[in-house]
Amino acid sequence: MSPHRARYARYSGGPDPLAPPVDLADALDVIGQDVMAGYSADHAMREYLRRGSRDQTGLDELARRVAEKRQELLQRHSLDGTLREVRELLDRAVLEERKQLARDLDDDARLAEMRIESLPPSTASAVSELADYSWRSPSARADYERIKDLLGREALDQRFAGMKQALENATDEDREQVRQMLSDLNDLLAAHARGEDTSEQFREFMEQHGDFFPDDPQDVDELIDSLAQRAAAAQRMMNSMTAEQRAELMQLSAQAFGSPALMDELGQLDANLQALRPGEDWGGSEQFEGAQGLGLGDGTGALQQLASLDELAEQLSQSYPGARMDDIDIDALARLVGDDAAVDARTLSELERALRDSGYLNRTSDGQLRLSPKAMRQLGKALLRDVATRLSGRQGQRDVRHAGAAGEASGATREWQFGDTEPWDVTRTVTNAVLRTASEGGQPARGIRIDIRDVEVTETEARTQACVALLVDTSFSMAMDGRWVPMKRTALALHHLISSRFRGDALQLIGFGRHAEVMDIEELTALDAQWAKGTNLHHALLLAARHFRKHPSAQPVLLVVTDGEPTAHLEPDGEVYFDYPPHPLTVAYSVRELDNVARLGAQVTFFRLGEDPGLARFIDQMARRVDGRVVAPELDDLGAAVVGSYLGSRGPGSYREQFGGFYGGGRGFWVDD
C-alpha cells in the first residue's frame, strides 16, 4: 500500500481540462439559419453569442445576471453606516457619562449634566460640541476617542481599501506614518502634474510606503489610475447621500484622528487625482434603497463594484466598434457574479475563437465574414440527416454515411479511385496491404498499415448519371411569406447529397426573380431577400436547358420550387418584361421553354408553395403538359420532397439504398398527371 493519500480539491489552474469541447455543430446550425435568412455571417455569429442556445447560456442572460447583481447591491444597502456607527458610539458615551455624573455630587457635575442634556440633535454637531469636554467616565472617554479614530480610519479607507482594518488600534506612530505617506504622495503627484517626476522618485516612494499599496503598481501612472478610480468612487458615494448626510459627514471629518491636518492632506490628494484623471466619473451618483448600512470605505467599495458591473455590462453587450469576446473580464465576472457566469462567458469566448479558427468562417477581400465551403458541407450534412429522418418516417437509419449508393455488384473488384462511393472489398484490401508490407521488407506479424494504394472496391454495374437543375424562386413573395430560409435549406441539402453521394451527377442551382442567374451554393446561401417584384420562370428554363445540353449523356432532372405564376420574361433584346397579372406572352414564353426542356428528355417536378388557386391550376397544367409531377409540401417538408424527387428520378434502388429501404415521397402530397 502506498503511504501517500489522495487529496481532492476544486481545480483552479484555468479552464476545466475535463470539460467537453465546445459544440460547434449546434452553433454552426444556428448561424447558418440566420445567414440563410439574409444576415451576414458576422451578424449571425454575434446573434448566436447573444442569444445562446438550449444548452449554452448567451450574453443576454449573463448581462441579465449582471443587472440583477447591480440591483441587489442598491436594494440591500444604504450609505449611512458610518453615521449610524458614530451615533451608536456617541449614545453609549453619553449614557455612560450620565451614569457617572449621577454618582458625582459636586457642582461641576451639575453643570456638566446641563451641557450633556443640551447637546444638539445632530450627530455631527454633538460630536463637535464635545470636542473640548472633560469626560469623567473612562469608558465614555474611550467611546468618544473611538469616534475620532473611526472617522480617521473611514476617511482613509475611502481612498485606500483596507485601511479601516489595518489601522485598528493604531498608535500615534502609525498615524504619523500615514500622514507622512500622504504628504509624500501629494508631492509625487504634484511633480508628475508638472512633468518633473522621475522613475527614481517613484521607486523611492514605493520603497518607503509600498506597504500601503498591496496592488503593487509598477509606475506612477498605474498608481494614479488605481487611486483615481477609488477616489472617484468615493466622490460618487458622497454624491449619492442626502444633503443632510453629506453635511454631517463634512462636519464630522474635522474630528478624524483629532487632526485637521489629515483631512487637509486627503483634500489635496483628491484635488491632485481629479486634475490628473478628469475622465473618471466624478459627478455620478446612485440611489441606494436598502437597510444594511455601509461605512465610508465599504460604501466606496460598493460604488466601485457598481462601476465594475457597469463595465461588465458594456463588455457583454458587445455593441461597440471592434468588440470581441476576449474583451470580457472573466476574473471580474467570477468575482462579482459567480463562477458559473465566468464558465459560461469563457465557453462563449472559446466558441467565438473556434468558429474563427476552425475554417467555418472566411473573411472576404472587403473584410466581411462568409460561411466557408467547409461550413457549407457541415450544414448540408446536418440538413440531409433531417431530410433522411423525414423520408424514412422513423428513427434510426438516418445517417447516409452508412448507406450504399452504388448499383448491383458485378462480382469483380478494382482499385479505388477518387470519388468512388462503392463499398470496400475488405479481403482484397487487407491482402494487398500484407503483400505490400512483405515486399517492402516489413514484418506482417507485427501488424500492417493499410495504404490508400491497397484499397480495392466492389465493382458495380454502370448506373445512369443525372444532370440536375434546381430552379428556386427568389422573388419578393418568397421572402415576404417566410419561404426564404426553407428554400435555401432545400438547395443546401440537395447540393450536399449530390456532392457527397452522387459525385458523378451534375447539379446546377438557378435562382429566378425578376431575372434568373446561376449561383454557387455559397452565393445562394448568403443571398439577401430580393424585394424586386417578378418571377422570371422563362429565363430560368433557358438556363436549365443550357445546362442539360452540356451533359448530353446524362439523364436531365428538372426541379422547380416556386410560389407564384410567371410574371416576367426575357425580350428578344435581353431586357426583362414584367407585368401582373401574368401577361399571355410571359406564359407563352414559359410554356415554350418548358417544352424545349421536355424534348431533351427531362424528368420534371414542380414544388408548389402556397394555396393560391391560380398558381395551382397553372402548375398542374404545366406538369400535365410534360408528363411531370406536382408536389405541394409543407415548408418543413420541402427539403424532403425535393431530395425524395431527385432520388426517385434515379430509380427505386437509389432511394432505398440512401434511406434505409423506405421508398416514397415524404410527407408531401404527390399528384401524378
Q: How many CB atoms lie within 10 A of CB 79?
A: 26
What is the torsion angle, in degrees rounded to the nearest 10, for the CA atoms of residue 287, residue 290, residue 296 and residue 298?
Answer: -110
Residue 669 pLDDT grade (very low, low, confident, very high; cuts 50, 70, 90): very low
pLDDT at 394: 36
User: Measured between alpha carbons, how far is 452 from 458 in angstroms, rounded to an integer?
Assistant: 15
Query: CB-based contacts of 591: which residues, under 8 Å, 6+ apart?
Result: 622, 625
By three-state DSSP, how is residue 506 classified? strand
pLDDT at 660: 42
User: Measured between alpha carbons, how far is 673 from 620 in angstroms, rounded to an integer?
Assistant: 8
Whats the size of the chain, residue-wise? 673
Under 8 Å between Cβ of 228 and 280: yes
pLDDT at 548: 95
- For the chain, report the end-to-end CA distance as a whole number of angstroms: 83
**φ, ψ (nearest 5 deg) of residue 435:** -65, -40
Please state whether beta strands 466-473 and 555-562 pair in parallel, antiparallel, or not at all (unpaired).
Answer: parallel
CA distance readout (Å), 458 to 196, 376, 409, 455, 545:
86, 30, 7, 10, 35
User: Measured between alpha carbons, how far is 299 from 237 in angstroms, rounded to an integer?
Assistant: 7
Task: Give pTM, 2 decimals.
Answer: 0.65
Q: How many CB atoms lie within 10 A of CB 590?
A: 24
Residues 475-523: tens digit of each pLDDT: 888 878 788 888 888 888 888 888 877 888 899 999 999 999 999 988 8
User: Measured between alpha carbons, how far is 384 from 640 in angstroms, rounded to an integer?
Assistant: 9
Q: How far is CA 46 from the centre of its chain?
A: 6
Supply the DSSP string of 360-406, one letter for each residue.
SEEE-TTS-EEE-HHHHHHHHHHHHHHHHHHHH-SSSS--GGGS---
Supply the CATH classification number for the domain 466-672. Answer: 3.40.50.410
Residues 421-455: tens digit of each pLDDT: 678 888 888 888 888 888 877 665 566 788 888 88
pLDDT at 557: 93
pLDDT at 277: 92
Q: Where are the alpha helices (DSSP H) in 37-162?
A: 41-51, 59-76, 81-103, 107-117, 123-129, 138-159
CA distance readout (Å), 618 to 420, 514, 598, 630:
42, 19, 17, 11
Residues 535-576: tens digit of each pLDDT: 999 999 999 999 999 999 899 999 999 998 999 999 999 899
Under 8 Å between Cβ of 569 and 539: yes
By three-state DSSP, how is residue 22 classified? coil
Residue 395 pLDDT grade (very low, low, confident, very high; cuts 50, 70, 90): very low
Q: Residue 399: is its pLDDT beyond 50? A: no
Under 8 Å between Cβ of 305 and 76: no
Query: CB-based contacts of 284: which residues, under 8 Å, 6+ apart?
Result: 236, 239
Single out the residue of 471, 492, 463, 421 nearest to residue 622, CA to CA.
Answer: 471
Query: CB-based contacts of 196: which residues, under 8 Å, 6+ apart?
Result: none
Cell of 218: 509598477
User: Measured between alpha carbons, how far is 595 from 623 in angstroms, rounded to an integer?
Assistant: 11
Residues 88-144: tens digit of each pLDDT: 999 999 999 999 988 988 888 899 889 998 998 888 888 888 888 999 999 999 999
Q: Would you call 217 exposed, middle or buried from its count of C-beta atoms within 10 A (0-12, 13-18, 19+)?
A: middle
Under 8 Å between Cβ of 156 and 265: no
Peptide bond into 278 cis (omega under 30): no
Query: CB-based contacts of 433: which residues, under 8 Å, 6+ apart?
Result: 448, 449, 450, 451, 454
Residue 473 pLDDT grade (very low, low, confident, very high; cuts 50, 70, 90): very high
Single out the residue of 427, 513, 502 nearest to residue 465, CA to CA.
Answer: 502
Residues 24-80: tens digit of each pLDDT: 777 777 877 777 776 767 778 888 888 888 778 899 999 999 999 999 999 999 888
- Domain spans, the chain: 24-77+309-350+360-371, 80-287, 412-458, 466-672
DSSP assigned state of 554: S
- Per-residue burial over 419-456, b if 16 or more Cβ lie within 10 Å, else e, is ebebebbeebbeebbeebbeeeeeeeeeebeeeeebbb
User: Measured between alpha carbons, how far is 75 from 157 in angstroms, rounded to an integer?
Assistant: 23
Residue 388 pLDDT grade (very low, low, confident, very high; cuts 50, 70, 90): low
Single out the residue of 670, 595, 587 nearest to residue 625, CA to CA.
Answer: 595
Cell 476544486: give the residue: 10
User: Measured between alpha carbons, how far is 393 from 670 in angstroms, rounded to an integer?
Assistant: 16
Which of residues 352 and 332 earns the better pLDDT score? 332
Element (H, E) at 603: strand 603-608
Q: How many CB atoms lie within 10 A of CB 341?
A: 21
Residue 12 pLDDT grade (very low, low, confident, very high; cuts 50, 70, 90): low
Residue 657 pLDDT grade (very low, low, confident, very high; cuts 50, 70, 90): very low
